[in-house]
């Protein structure tokens, strides 16, 4: 556990991506199994201990530390794990050696809500300050230290001099502590098999389009639909649906899972049908309709009836036992078109190629497309293979220009990880009428990105100097600061007091020059709702 704690400490203090990669690669090479595998799982959110939550840590601290001291310290530090690790009282007497990562995982796996307090306290007593911090982060699943799953896979590849594409390919068929994966990469064993189970394959991704034009003789254009990117895999009589991150969402969309009965791997956009049936979306409802079904463990008959899911297909990765990913996009597209008659039409259709003679005509078509289910345009090089991740020059995404509106800052909350000391999560609102006539601000969105580090410090200072009330971790500010907010679309929402919900809101500009009473009205925002 000491080595893992030292790794976390170094990662937190290291801003450079390459330096983080080097630290993690060294750890993976030098630490033995199974500790390195469990550590890798912890860093990539692959561990879950239901009996250990942040509330348990707070309860343990309440028994050991003055509540006023705890509240003041937590407010100043901004992180529960760090505060608890610093304030935990030193135990009396010999407590035994620090546990290994594997021992911690095994002990927490075996605990339940009744035994968890004593178990966690016993482990905390055997650790020093750094060890307690690492233990609490691992136990509660709240790492937030700038290590994404992709970065961890790159570090794994660097550690053992293997291709990151191979790591991506084999990763999702393994479970922590990933012993077959380490045997392959570190000891030269045969790679794990991927053809016996319906496993996830890494998605090919696109770069934002920055060029003024592309030659449509080399690139094909198709709509970028506003749903969620999914992969549907059928192997050995079993079908699974995976999200872009590789999460299995088959149970959430059982109608899609049941619809694929032939061995293949399909790439597409998951959408739902709803009240909106017109326009170029071809029956696709807005993302807001899809969002009602996301994350649900059970799906009601009413949802299946009123918002049935379907997949608008982009690509064919594997057909039968033939892997098509090395073939050109045009070849895969032909194979996909030939496969379409064999697929259930209520659950699968194909994303049509946009007929444009040149880039200027494509730009005009894109500018006219305001359908709520269209997010923009994809440009795919006709001879491109299907490769994991982003490769320059192969695929580009050309999103629609964002919508803009001026809103007033209402509430702020501290961030997490590197931002735990800053107020960086901002809730903003629009006036529900004329503020000079007594109108009130109603919250219309929340954003935590779009600003620079320098602007973050400026915003944090503003929040601290203009706080008028506190509600737990949330501060209410006076209604004086205006944001220009960029967003992709806005939809009717019964869950919000304002009656609307924004899609992908982000801070575009800080409008220190604009008086709050000149911010936009709610009616202006509602007028942007697609028909």
CATH number for the domain including 326? Answer: 3.30.470.30
Residue 268 has pLDDT above 50, yes or no: yes
Of the candidates 37, 8, 171, the residue with the CA atom closest to the CA atom of residue 102 = 37
User: Residues 370-398: what's their mean pLDDT?
Assistant: 88
**Pairwise pLDDT comparison (244 vs 32), residue with the higher score:** 32
Identify the DSSP state of 102.
H
CATH number for the domain including 499? Answer: 2.40.50.140
* Residue 295 sits in the same domain as residue 417: no
Residue 134 has pLDDT above 90, yes or no: yes
* Residue 361 sits in the same domain as residue 464: no
* Whole-number average pLDDT of the chain: 90
* Residue 370 sits in the same domain as residue 410: no
* Residue 416 sits in the same domain as residue 351: no
| pLDDT confidence band for 289 (50 / 70 / 90) | confident
Picking from 375, 399, 423, the residue at the C-terminal end of a domain is 399
* Residue 352 sits in the same domain as residue 421: no
Residue span of the structural domain in which 512 resides: 403-526
Picking from 399, 425, 460, the residue at the C-terminal end of a domain is 399
- From CA 225, how far away is CA 518, in angstroms rounded? 35
* Residue 388 sits in the same domain as residue 300: yes
The predicted structure's pLDDT at residue 372 = 61
**Within a domain: residue 126?**
no
| pLDDT confidence band for 244 (50 / 70 / 90) | confident
pLDDT digits (tens, 9 = 90+) for 471-486: 888 999 999 999 999 9
User: Residues 42-70: what's their mean pLDDT?
Assistant: 92
- From CA 32, how far away is CA 131, in angstroms rounded? 18
Picking from 366, 381, 399, the residue at the C-terminal end of a domain is 399
**In this structure, what are the phi and psi dihedrals at residue 373, rounded to the nearest 5 degrees?**
-95, 0
**Which of these ranges, 120-134, 269-283, 494-508, has the smallest mean pLDDT?**
269-283
Strands, sheet with 207-208, edge to edge from the N-terminal-most edge strand: 207-208, 395-399, 374-381, 219-225
- From CA 396, how far away is CA 216, in angstroms rounded? 12
Residue 277 has pLDDT above 50, yes or no: no
Distance (Å) of CA 305 to CA 61, 94, 112, 302, 493: 49, 63, 39, 5, 20
| pLDDT confidence band for 281 (50 / 70 / 90) | very low
pTM exceeds 0.85, yes or no = no
The predicted structure's pLDDT at residue 274 = 65
The SS3 assignment for 343 reads coil
The predicted structure's pLDDT at residue 275 = 52
* Residue 300 sits in the same domain as residue 386: yes
**Pairwise pLDDT comparison (176 vs 283), residue with the higher score:** 176
**Within a domain: residue 265?**
yes
The predicted structure's pLDDT at residue 488 = 82
Residue 17 has pLDDT above 50, yes or no: yes
The predicted structure's pLDDT at residue 234 = 97
* Residue 457 sits in the same domain as residue 521: yes
* Residue 383 sits in the same domain as residue 461: no
**Within a domain: residue 350?**
yes
**Within a domain: residue 422?**
yes
- From CA 91, how far away is CA 129, in angstroms rounded? 12
For the chain, how many structural domains are there in total?
2
Per-residue HEC secondary structure of 421-438 comes to CCEEEEEEEEECCCHHHC
User: Residues 393-416: what's their mean pLDDT?
Assistant: 90
* Residue 387 sits in the same domain as residue 414: no
**Within a domain: residue 150?**
no
**Within a domain: residue 393?**
yes
| pLDDT confidence band for 282 (50 / 70 / 90) | very low
Residue 330 has pLDDT above 80, yes or no: yes
**Within a domain: residue 341?**
yes
Ordered DSSP codes for 3-24: HHHHHHHHHHT---HHHHHHHH
**Within a domain: residue 294?**
yes
* Residue 211 sits in the same domain as residue 293: yes
Q: Residue 409: is it exposed, middle or buried by C-beta count within 10 angstroms (0-12/13-18/19+)?
A: buried
**Pairwise pLDDT comparison (287 vs 2), residue with the higher score:** 2
* Residue 274 sits in the same domain as residue 412: no
């Amino acid at each position: 556990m000491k080595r893992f704690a030292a790794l976390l400490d170094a990662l937190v203090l290291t801003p450079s991506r390459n330096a983080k990669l080097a630290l993690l690669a060294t750890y993976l090479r030098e630490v033995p199994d199974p500790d390195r595998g469990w550590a890798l799982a912890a860093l990539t959110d692959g561990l879950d201990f239901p009996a250990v939550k942040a509330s348990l840590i707070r309860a343990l601290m309440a028994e050991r530390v003055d509540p006023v001291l705890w509240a003041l310290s937590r407010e100043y530090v901004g992180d529960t794990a760090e505060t608890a690790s610093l304030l935990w009282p030193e135990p009396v007497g010999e407590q035994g050696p620090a546990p290994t990562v594997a021992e911690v995982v095994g002990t927490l796996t075996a605990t339940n809500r009744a035994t968890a307090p004593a178990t966690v306290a016993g482990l905390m007593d055997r650790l020093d300050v750094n060890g307690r911090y690492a233990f609490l982060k691992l136990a509660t699943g709240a790492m937030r230290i700038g290590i994404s799953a992709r970065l961890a896979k790159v570090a794994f590849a660097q550690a053992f001099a293997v291709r990151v594409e191979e790591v991506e390919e084999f990763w999702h068929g393994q479970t922590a502590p990933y012993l077959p994966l380490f045997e392959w990469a570190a000891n030269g064993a045969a790679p794990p098999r991927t053809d016996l189970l319906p496993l996830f394959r890494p998605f090919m991704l696109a770069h934002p389009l920055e060029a003024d034009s592309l030659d449509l003789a080399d690139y094909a254009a198709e709509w970028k639909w506003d749903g969620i990117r999914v992969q549907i895999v059928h192997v050995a009589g079993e079908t699974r649906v995976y999200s872009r991150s590789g999460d299995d969402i088959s149970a959430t969309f059982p109608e899609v899972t049941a619809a694929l009965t032939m061995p293949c791997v399909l790439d597409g956009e998951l959408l739902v049908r709803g009240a909106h049936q017109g326009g170029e979306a071809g029956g696709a409802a807005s993302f807001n309709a899809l969002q009602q079904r996301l994350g649900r463990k059970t799906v009601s008959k009413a949802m299946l009836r009123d918002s049935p899911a379907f997949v608008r297909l982009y690509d064919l990765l594997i057909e039968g036992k033939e892997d098509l990913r090395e073939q050109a996009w045009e070849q895969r597209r032909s194979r996909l078109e030939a496969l379409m008659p064999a697929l259930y039409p209520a659950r699968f259709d194909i994303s049509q190629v946009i007929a444009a003679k040149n880039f200027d005509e494509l730009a005009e078509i894109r500018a006219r497309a305001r359908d709520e289910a269209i997010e923009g345009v994809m440009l795919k090089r006709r001879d491109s293979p299907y490769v994991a991740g982003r490769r320059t020059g192969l695929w580009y995404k050309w999103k629609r220009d964002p919508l803009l509106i001026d809103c007033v800052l209402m509430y702020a909350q501290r961030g997490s990880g590197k931002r735990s000391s800053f107020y960086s999560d901002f809730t903003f609102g629009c006036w529900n009428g004329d503020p000079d006539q007594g109108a009130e601000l109603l919250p219309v969105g929340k954003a935590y990105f779009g600003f620079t580090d320098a602007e973050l410090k400026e915003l944090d200072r503003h929040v601290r100097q203009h706080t008028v009330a506190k509600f737990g971790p949330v501060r209410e500010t006076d209604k004086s600061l205006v944001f220009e907010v960029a967003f992709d679309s806005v939809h009717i929402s019964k869950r919000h007091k304002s009656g609307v919900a924004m899609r992908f809101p982000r801070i575009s500009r800080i409008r220190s020059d604009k008086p709050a009473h000149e911010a936009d009205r709610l009616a202006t925002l509602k007028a942007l709702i697609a028909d």
